[in-house]
Amino acid sequence: MRFRSGDDGSWRAALAAALPSGFGKPSSFTLHSVVAEGCDWADRAPSSAWARRDNARSLRADIEAGLSTCGSALQGQFQPFSVPVIEALDRVAVGPKANRRADVASLGAASRRAKALLRSPPMRVAAWQDLVDAARADHPDITVIEPRIALLNAMLVGAGVAPGERFGRLADILSPSEATLARDPDAVPPGWTDAQRLAAADALVREAAATGHCVAWLTFAAARLPEFVLEVGPVTFFDADWCISNALVPPWQDYPYRSELTRVIEHDHDRGIFDPYADPRHEVIARVDLGHRPSFGWKEEAVAQVRSVVGLVTVRTGAPSWRRAGFSCLVMDGEVGTYSFGPGDESLFTEPDHYGMNGFADALEDYRTELAGLLSSGPLPTDVAEALRLVGEAGQVDSRENALNGTATIAEQSVIVLQVAAMERLAAYTGMDGDPYASKLAADWPLVRYHQNLAWAVEQCLSGVGGGGDPLFHQVVSFPSGRRHLSFVTAFDVRDQLIAACPGRFERARAETLLESIGDADTALKMLASFAAEAGVLKGRLSRCRNALMHGNPVALESVQSVRGFSRFIVGTALDNSIRSIAEGRTVADLLKASDHRRRATLDALQSGRSIGDIWSTAKDGKPL
């Protein structure tokens, strides 16, 4: 969170701190996402994709889920546009095949109108006002605030507005940072009332993105051209060694865009100084003409165009691909407007990851007994061995090594495909069909999610106690066998102290609700019901993503990202069941029956009025499952 002057716990300071800075939040699945995906399905999906009616039902469920996170201002304006989309999806889902073409066309028209509205200035203002209302509530709920921030983020991106820059300016209107005040003491009049600040914020949210003729310049390493300058449609490639020297030092040799390159390269402190004795760089500079457009997203689009050229050559020849080098620059309407330096595609760390190595060693000790039983049983069944391979390949994206070094060789979309294939193998091992098996595993999602949320609440509170030297920390945290363990029962006992220590206004309110639920059966049951509903929506969306990835139907990256946690949980639980089955000599059906019995016993106890804290206190291992 950014530190802001006068952060006194007021709603303005808290909301300013919660707004994403830099380039905005990563893509999240929102109402805007599903409406845009509905447009893509109507425009691009073949008729055969609609034959599986669950796809239409899943899109409808996602729209309902997205609407449930919105406030009254947005819902009031959007309702006349959302109803036709939902009605069209219903017709596709249940209507006769003879009417499918007309029903899909109706869906496309309604979805396009809805998408255009969501990107409009009045709707962005409505989304902002709903966010402010949530922040000003007597008991602000971060589970309401964060989805509304994500929706506004998506709406800004859809309109071509850079969300990080816009959110930063909104934060300064609400509660100016020390850096802003030092740069411009009069940036926000100190005497402004809340009403004046919010009026200014509404105007800023309504403001359209600046547009112009955008030209991107990118650098690539380990690259070579067949000639000094090579034009490929809107992309022009330059041999860096030859072109830079001719751009910086006379007598120049003329070539296309030389003067523009001269102005661009002067901003690169490494390449912008000519050294006649320097070794060859073996780099290529790419100029990508993006046309008239907003500047937001210029680098991603330019990189994608170059990658398409490089990727095609790599696939057809087997030649090694180029690596992104660090420098990039945007020229807008002839002016060098934005430039940046980054790590490129090379590893960020070359030293061994000692922390990760220690973590692996600890895990190996924890799982030694289970692994011994597994290996002692003989060769793994073919389906389980193949599932392990598939899950291992998918896991590289979420690995610590990839987080540190960017070593993943597959995309997030490929992760879902690999996990689906692994799930089919594991279902085959159990003798069940994939979907029914996944449904049985998804039944455990609500309790696991509740457990995760409680852990989040405790950690949020502990972030304000000053670490391991605080007595409160040691009441709640222990390290059996060197691993961090949170005691939720103890956390409930000392909840008043924990809540008082929680530093965030919005986080504090959510943490209080969660910690209180440990002693309140009704509240815990309501939370579990909400997570069960979440599981239903995610299962339908995962199925839709799977069908899209396997059969070439439309699917947005944020759709894939939103189901990856659920997919990882399903396949991970299935893999755990198979490994336990082999190591313990029990059938997977027996393990499922035991899990179902324990889950039902927990829910029955809650419904009889026993608190979750009481249930865990009397359980042998203190766990919810």
How far is residue 127's CA from residue 73's CA, in Å, rounded to a whole number? Answer: 7
Q: Are 240 and 272 in contact (CB under 8 A)?
A: no
pLDDT class for 350, splitting at 50, 70, 90? very low
Q: Are 132 and 72 in contact (CB under 8 A)?
A: no
Q: Tokens for 309? A: 């050229």
For residue range 527-537, what is the model confidence (pLDDT) as tens digits? 999 999 999 99
How far is residue 423's CA from residue 421's CA, in Å, rounded to a whole number? Answer: 5
pLDDT above 90 (res 496): yes
Q: Are 494 and 476 in contact (CB under 8 A)?
A: yes
pLDDT class for 276, splitting at 50, 70, 90? low
Pick the residue with more confidence: 561 or 182? 561
How far is residue 6's CA from residue 53's CA, in Å, rounded to a whole number? Answer: 54
Pick the residue with more confidence: 59 or 465? 59
How far is residue 43's CA from residue 246's CA, in Å, rounded to a whole number? Answer: 48
Q: Are 286 and 237 in contact (CB under 8 A)?
A: yes
pLDDT above 50 (res 251): yes
SS3 content of the chain, % helix, strand, coil (to 5): 65, 10, 25
Q: Tokens for 198? A: 């919010």
pLDDT above 90 (res 359): no
pLDDT above 70 (res 402): no
pTM of the predicted structure, to 2 decimals: 0.83
Which DSSP letter does residue 256 get?
A: T
CA 607-610-612 angle, 5° bins: 95
pLDDT class for 401, splitting at 50, 70, 90? low
How far is residue 282's CA from residue 539's CA, in Å, rounded to a whole number? Answer: 48
How far is residue 371's CA from residue 375's CA, in Å, rounded to a whole number? Answer: 6
